Amino acid sequence: MNFLLAAVGVLGVASSGPLIAATLGATTVSTLAIAFWRNAIGAAVMATPTLVREPRQFGRITGPEFRWSLLAAVALALHFACFITSLRLTSVAAATALVCLQSAWIAVFQLFRGTRHRWQVLAGLGIAFGGVVTITGFDMGSSPDALLGDLLAVAGGALAGLYTLAGGKARQTMPTGTYTTLCYGMCAAVVAVLALFSGQPLVGFDVAGWVGILAITVCAQLVGHTAFNHLLATMSPLLVSMIILLEIPGAALLAAVFLHETLPAGTYGGLGLILVGLAVVVLGQRSGFRKRREGAGADEPPSDRLAELGTD
């Protein structure tokens, strides 16, 4: 049953890029409208059970919790702006692989903060960013727009890493439902401001556009990420982390089948390098965490929250 749920989760998150690309290409929906409605609907869905269970929870949010949540919301809004825009410019496969680098960016940010990673993590970072160079190198020779899309996707991955780190600070003392409701709601507000200044409409789309927005929200956010959050309670976090990486080949396969997307062989090689590199980073971080816990004489916690959840 768990692996069936994992398959549904992979299909859900992998469908994000192809669904966004199809919606942008076939409807009148604007880039920021997808980001706005996905977060607004997500906030409404998360708020309902939270208000039913703990109606006073939002009144107990502290100043530091609010500030960390706000930083996470701004990072998430910019992440969506970069990632969704990149899907207009580059391939679904490349954009998805490059934005999935968020776990690698987290390791990089931790390096700057003084964290000493094991050699496996550093090797994985080198492999993953080698894949970035491979993909952008091929796109540089084929299309300036594709190269710009690649760079936006890389920026989206870095912003997703920042979102995760800030969210981790907030969630040290905040319940998940309270945090996600606040973060998604503030993210939608930030996107609305960006849409106002950029002149992108948030309403007034054709029926197909609204169907696309709903499909993106349900498949990627409500089905995909919810499935993985459920699996965290019943499966090893390391195994769930590895399963989530299947989003990269999953998105490429869906784009090839339904959008007839074809890529140079070298680009597929870059996707493979990113996938292998991220797997090595995840394994290295997990191994290092276990070693530090054993050295301290403490038991490993039964479950860790994953960095990859809740973005694209």
From first to last of the 312 residues of the chain, give the pLDDT tens digit.
777 888 998 999 999 999 999 999 999 999 999 999 999 998 999 888 888 887 777 888 999 999 999 999 999 999 999 999 999 999 999 999 999 988 889 889 988 888 888 888 899 999 999 999 999 887 776 788 999 999 999 999 999 999 989 998 998 888 888 898 999 999 999 999 999 999 999 999 999 999 999 999 999 888 887 788 777 667 776 677 788 889 999 999 999 999 999 888 888 899 999 999 999 988 887 665 555 555 544 443 333 344 334 567
The candidate with the shortest Cα–Cα distance to 104, out of 76, 80, 132, is 132
Q: For residue 165, is it within any domain? A: yes
Predicted local distance difference test score (pLDDT) of residue 114: 85
d(CA 21, CA 183): 25
Predicted local distance difference test score (pLDDT) of residue 301: 37
Q: For residue 300, is it within any domain? A: no
Predicted local distance difference test score (pLDDT) of residue 293: 55
Q: For residue 213, is it within any domain? A: yes
Predicted local distance difference test score (pLDDT) of residue 242: 82
Q: For residue 72, is it within any domain? A: yes
Domain total in the chain: 1
Handedness of CA 208, 213, 214, 215 (dihedral sign): positive
Q: For residue 310, is it within any domain? A: no
Task: Please provide residue 114's backbone torsions phi and psi, each rounded to the nearest 5 degrees.
Answer: 100, 5
Q: For residue 312, is it within any domain? A: no
Alpha-carbon torsion angle 245, 249, 255, 261, nearest 10: 140
Q: For residue 304, is it within any domain? A: no
d(CA 159, CA 142): 26
The whole-model pTM stands at: 0.87
Q: For residue 306, is it within any domain? A: no
d(CA 251, CA 181): 27
Contact 133, 267 (CB under 8 A): no
Greatest alpha-carbon pair distance for the chain in Å reads: 60
User: Residue 292: CB partners within 8 Å, gap ≥ 6?
Assistant: none
Gyration radius of the chain over CA positions:
19
The candidate with the shortest Cα–Cα distance to 165, out of 121, 223, 111, is 111
Give the domain range for residue 71: 2-295
Contact 310, 225 (CB under 8 A): yes
d(CA 142, CA 134): 13
Cβ neighbours of 115 (radius 10 Å): 14
